[in-house]
Amino acid sequence: MASAIQQFDSEHIWHPYASAHGGVTPYVVSDAEGVYLTLEDGRKLIDGMSSWWCVIHGYKHPVLNAAIQEQCECFAHVMFGGLTHEPAVQLARDLLDVVPQGLARVFFCDSGSVSVEVAMKMALQYQQARGETQRVQFATVLGGYHGDTWHPMSVCDPHTGMHSLYQGRLAAQHFLPRPQSRFDGELCADDVKALDGFFAAHGDEVAAFIIEPIVQGAGGMWFYHPDYLRHLAERCRKHGILLIADEIATGFGRTGEWFAINHAVITPDIMCIGKALTGGYVSFAATLCTDAVADTISAAEPGVMMHGPTFMGNPLACAVASASLGLLRNEAWREQVAAIAAHLQAALSPLKDWDAVADVRVLGAIGVVELHEAVDMAVITPMFVEAGVWVRPFGKLVYLMPPFVISAAELQQLSDALVAVLKAYCDV
C-alpha cells in the first residue's frame, strides 16, 4: 500500500530514467545516518551504493554538518562574477594539494555533466586559440559514460547510452574499442594497436580525448590496465590532442588512490571531478586544467573561458567540500578502502563459479558481479530491501560501492545480503 508521499510522488515527480506511468515505486527515506538509510516505515537499510557513489564519509557526518551550518550563518550564496570568497579560495587550495601535479586552475561548476561540458568547451577553445580550428571532434572509448547533458551524451557509449533516441542531433565523435587489458592482467597488444591506428588516421582532427581513468563506471563497471592510459597520454601529447580525465566517479579515494589516474602516474590536461567532492552533501563539481591550457585560452580572442553558471563556486558547497577533503587528508581512507577491497574480493570471488555469473571484479571500494542476463529491477529491488540493504543494479551489473566508513560487521552484513539475494534470484 503506497504512503501519501509515494502517492503524490508517483503522480507528479520524475525519477531518474523513469516512466510517468509507474514502475518500481520509490522507497521513502525519512532519515539517514552513518551507512544507514531509514525508510518511512522504520526499516533500516545499509547503503551499498553511497547514494550513487558520492557519500564516502556516510550520512549526517558531524564535521560536514558543522561546515555547511557554519557557512550558512555567514552567507549561503553570492554570485561569482566579480566576487570571490574564502570558501572558494580554500577549496581551490585544498584541491590543488591533492590533484595530479601540473593541474593549476579550477573552474567550479554545478554537477558532473556540467563539468564535462566545461571540459569539452575548454578543449575546443584551446584548439581554436592555437589556430587548430579543424580540431572539432572528440575521441573516447566504447563503454564510457560522461553525463546526461548534450555534449557529454555524445561521448557516452553509443549503444548503452542514449544515441539512438537523439540520432542525427548529437555531435558525431570517434569511438575506439573498449580497452580489453584488465586492471589485474597484462596490457594487450591489440589495445595499443587500436590506439596507434586511430592516432595515425585522426590525430589532426581531434580536439581532445576524454576517458574515465581505470574504471568505466555507469558504462559497464569495467577496470582496465594503467598502461593503457600511459600509452594514450603519450600519443595525445605527440599529436597535440588534449587528454581529459573524467574522475567524477573515481576521484577521492574510491579506487585506492586519490584519483584513478594516479595508478598510471600521469597528469591529464583537463580533469573533471564531482560526486564525492562534497562528501555527497550537495551537487557540486569542478573542471581543472593546466596553466598551459588556461594561458592559451586567455591569450587569444575572446580571451575568456566562455562559461559562468549562476551557482558557480557556491559557498555552502565549497565549505562542505573543504571539510570533506579535511577528513580525507590524514589518508585513513587508504586503509578503509583496502579493507573493503579485501573483504569484497573474498566475499564475491566464489560467485565466479555460478552459471549465472559472467565475471566478478574488485578494485578499491568497488565490487562488481556481472551476470549473463540483465536483472529484473522490479523483482530484485524488494529482495534487497527485505534483506536490509540498498543495492541498485543496472543491466547485468550488480555491484557494491559502500561508504568508506562502513564497519567490518556492516560490510559483512552487506555482502552476505548481496550473496543471499543473488543466490535466490539466480536460483543457485
Query: Which residues in this chain contact ligand PMP in the complex, by CB under 6 A?
Result: 111-113, 116, 145-147, 212, 217-218, 246, 248-249, 274
Question: Which residue, 171 or 428, is less far from ligand PMP as judged by CB?
Answer: 171
196 noted as active-site residue: no
Question: 193 catalytic, yes or no?
Answer: no
Shortest Cβ 249–ligand PMP spacing (Å): 4
Angstrom distance (rounded) from CA 58 to CA 77 = 25
Point out the catalytic residue in the list 36, 110, 275, 425: 275
Q: Cβ of residue 235: shortest distance to ligand PMP, in angstroms?
A: 22
Nearer to ligand PMP, 317 or 426 (CB): 317
Instruction: Please report how many Cα atoms fall inside a 13 Å half-sphere around the Cα of residue 29, on the Cβ side.
Output: 11
**Closer to ligand PMP by Cβ: residue 9 or 148:** 148
How is residue 62 written as a grid cell? Answer: 558531524
Residue number, 403 or 417, with CB nearest to ligand PMP = 403
DSSP assignment letter at 224: B
Helix or strand holding residue 325 (H, E): helix 315-329
- Listed in sequence order, the residues at least 6 apart from 361 whose beta carbon sits closer than 8 Å to its beta carbon are 182, 183, 184, 221, 222, 223, 367, 368, 370
- By C-beta, is 248 or 347 nearer to ligand PMP? 248
Q: What angle do CA 258, 261, 263 make, to 5 degrees?
A: 80
- Cα-Cα-Cα-Cα torsion 88, 89, 92, 93, nearest 10 degrees, comes to -150
Q: Which of 17, 41, 353, 355 is catalytic?
A: 17
Indicate if 145 belongs to the active site.
yes
- Please give the C-alpha separations between residue 131 and each of 128, 135, 297, in angstroms, as whole numbers: 5, 9, 11
With CB atoms as reference, the residue minimizing the distance to ligand PMP is 112
DSSP state of 23: S
414 vs 428: CA distance, rounded Å = 19
Is 27 labeled as catalytic in the residue annotation?
Answer: no
Residues annotated catalytic, as ranges: 17, 145, 246, 275
